[in-house]
Chains A and B, each alone.
Chain A
Amino acid sequence: MVSDVATRPRAPRAAGRTRHRRSRGVWPRVWHFLSFGAPGVLIYVCFVLVPIAVSFGYSLTNYNPFNPPTRFVGLRNYQLMLQDDAFLTSLRITTILTAIVVIVPNVLGLGIAVLLDRRGWLYNALRGVFFTPMVLSSVVISVIWTRMLQDDGPVNQVLRALGVQDPPGWLSDPDIALYSLATVLCWQMLGFCVVIYLAGLSGVPKELMEAAAIDGAGPVRRFWRVTWPMLAPALTVNTVVLLISAFKIFDHVQVMTQGGPGTGSTATIAFLAIQTAFVDNHQGYASAEAVAMLVVIAALTAVSLAVLRRREIDQ
């Protein structure tokens, strides 16, 4: 009874306090959002969404800053693009480059991560070695590799020393230049894949591996049945990051080949868009190329994510 008396008058007060808390609870949340979330949102809106919207707007015009006036042309730029050999070639080049850069570092990165998934100073040092290209500027890497791959550069000097009479023109042969470029990109992205897979490997419970071993599973079976399914999230991250990085590649092309040798050898969509905008001055058309690139990247990323996430759930 005492307790009843004690609690009864408290009940409405408690309810009132809750209401008060709720009413007081909204504003701090708003303030917290404005103070912590707003800067990020504003930056994102200003530097991502607004430029994308402006680019899309330009892509519907014949905008050429050197040849006014600007007129609305609707979807004509997109129609022209689908018949433009230069754009279709750059789309093919970019797709080949992306396929190589998504597959090779993923496969090699997984293998190296498995080999480096041990304790000890040597393994720590090797992890650092593999990750170093990732932290270097793309321009620095491109300059270094351009020197390495020149006809009389270190790569061909080694080949000549090994008895190769006529080593390839790594950057001068239009049939090889794209693959040289892809190799450099793979080399740079390899460290990223290794680190992500190492993080994934560290999350594989030892108990599962031990249980599998007790059940008689050998190293290969343990990898495919236990480790590989547990690495599904790492595969998703690597694939999506590599896909986006490769599809919008520009700086390596600019420094190493400038889209050449000749026409249609290594000109990716991003490189072509810059050329169209600032050499040919067709900024409306270049905006259409950039929007097309964005749409393709978004579509490929969405499909990859859907497929890889389903795999994560299935596992």
Chain B
Amino acid sequence: MRRILVLGTALTVAGGLSACSVGDQTGGGGQSGGSGASGSKEITFLVFETDNLTPKFWDDNIARVSKKVGVTVKKIVAPGDRTAYAKQLLASGQFPDVQIGLQDLPSFDNGGNLATFGDSELSQFLCPKCSAIKGRTVQLPANTQTWQVFYRKSLFQKAGISAPPKTYAELLADAAALKGKGIQPFVIGGNPSWGSSLPWTGTLTTDLYAADPEWMHQRREGSTKFDSPEFLKATQKFADLAAKGYLNKKDLGQSYDASQAAFLDGKGAMYPMGSWFAAASDASKAKDDIGIFAWPADDGSFHLPSFTGGGLSVNAKSPNVDLAKKFALAWQTDKDYLDTSAVADALFPAIKGYTLPAKDGTVFKAVYDLYREAVDQKATVPAFGWEQGDDGMIAGMPDKWNLTAQDIITGKKTPKQAAGYLDTEWDKSS
């Protein structure tokens, strides 16, 4: 009996002490480095799931690309916000070997956590320095996304509107006409908070970035502030949309899924959203009733917010960094992956020589055509709140900016107060 007690105690103490010991905090590799079932090296890959990017989407693509590269891939699905989750993994020494679509890249890069892709590795990419940090590409600039306004043609007709607005005055007139007919002009979401700020991205596109695409760089340098005339003008436009009731305050209680469903169910006429919404539009019964237009400027000039980046990044401290990079590059240039991501999530591959698959999707085609038109006219500008790397806000600010949009919508903050708050928070965060 005593022997059993002694043995049990010894095991408990040993187990307890080992639990207390500090693990490897280098952030390198997570659970990588092992050998897969087939004897090949194993790497970990952080992904995220949405309505468009289903488990099957990831599993099929991982199976194909990993076979091509000769690596075993362990999929890690972010339970919520992928960037916050990646930070938690990094802080606990479990940063995956490969990640997709990370935001707040400068924070990850600060500690030397992201591997740099060289020029030769980026030869197939259309914009190799998009989202770069101090000239270094740490996230493959694989896809382009755009932001536009989706609208319901039948609701426009019901309000006597024959064509989508070309100028901001027309947009206001259309919104007034829709409201007059009892139709909610805009549908927005509230949870996650970025669903509320998309109209603000629109006004900042036409009134800030169209005139000065380098504005964010100047803000990072401290040579301009949010409390500047051009930022305030765009913010006032956004606040006016809320004050006139064109943005429904009650939508702030709405999830992303609910806001999408509300628009597809015809509960609102206009839906400012990213290009990925094209996939859900084409899958819905309302697909033939949905049109798109770019957020209009006062003078009717054409500007389209876009972002190129969002691809795979590699843990610089991974024991298999070369293999991880090989997998990342193979993934981003795999024709089947590019086709499926374009179809499933309306990601426009920014790869040389790539052509989109023939797709039976009227909304997808309209979104892509608008993007091509913007490229041809050199009318693309950064998408405020969605920029990355040196083009984006500093860590923590995008969330505060999104929440500030909600304060403006509810009338809790005036544009001036919102700008002051953002400047204060920026100074605190930097």
Contact = CB atoms under 8 A, between A and B. Distances in A.
A98 to B, nearest CB: 23
Interface in B301-359: none
B211 interface: no
Nearest to A176: B253
A152 B192 CA distance: 18
Interface residues of B, number: 54
Contacts of B108: 66
B157 interface: no
Interface in B172-192: 190-192
B12 A262 contact: no
Contacts of A174: 406-407, 410, 412
A301 interface: no
B250 A280 contact: no
Interface SS, B side? helix
B2 A31 contact: yes
B251 A68 contact: no
A31 B253 contact: no
Contacts of A280: 395-396, 429
A65 B9 contact: no
A303 to B, nearest CB: 33
B255 A146 contact: yes
Contacts of A177: 253
B216 interface: no
A150 B191 CA distance: 11
A260 interface: yes
Given A66-B108, A258-B192, A260-B252, A39 B12 contact: yes
A180 to B, nearest CB: 9
B37 interface: no
Contacts of B193: 258, 260
Most chain-B Cβ atoms within 10 A of its Cβ — which of A45, A50, A150, A172?
A172
B410 A66 contact: no
B252 A172 contact: yes
A42 B9 CA distance: 11
Given A169-B253, A279-B399, A283-B91, A42 B190 contact: no
Nearest to B16: A42
B84 A46 contact: no
Given A31-B5, A172-B190, A65 B252 contact: no
A279 B250 contact: no
Interface string A30-58: 01101100110011011100100000000
A224 to B, nearest CB: 42
B258 interface: yes
B400 to A, nearest CB: 7
Interface string B408-429: 0110110000000100000001
Interface in A140-190: 146, 149-152, 169-174, 177
A302 B154 CA distance: 64
Nearest to B428: A84
Contacts of A260: 190-191, 193, 252, 403, 406
A261 B253 contact: yes
A262 B403 contact: yes
A257 interface: yes
Contacts of B254: 150-151, 172
A202 interface: no
A67 interface: yes
B91 A262 contact: no
B13 interface: yes
Interface string A59-74: 0000001111000000
Contacts of A275: 396, 399
Majority secondary structure, A binding face: loop
B182 to A, nearest CB: 13
A182 B12 CA distance: 42
B400 A258 contact: no
Interface string A264-305: 000000000001001111110000000000000000000000
Contacts of A259: 403
Nearest to B252: A172
Contacts of B191: 146, 171, 256-258, 260
A261 B406 contact: yes
Contacts of B91: 65, 278, 283
B111 interface: yes
B396 A65 contact: no
A38 B12 contact: yes
Nearest to B398: A279
A258 B256 CA distance: 13
B427 to A, nearest CB: 13
Nearest to A285: B428
A15 B231 CA distance: 92
14 contacts: A46-B16, A66-B107, A67-B110, A171-B253, A172-B251, A172-B252, A174-B406, A174-B407, A260-B193, A262-B403, A262-B406, A263-B412, A280-B395, A281-B395
Interface of A: 31-32, 34-35, 38-39, 42-43, 45-47, 50, 65-68, 146, 149-152, 169-174, 177, 254, 256-263, 275, 278-283
Closest 5 CB pairs of A and B: A42-B16, A172-B253, A280-B396, A171-B253, A172-B252
Given A42-B13, A65-B27, A275-B399, 13 more contacts: A35-B12, A42-B19, A50-B20, A66-B395, A68-B110, A173-B410, A254-B80, A260-B193, A263-B400, A278-B87, A279-B84, A281-B107, A283-B91
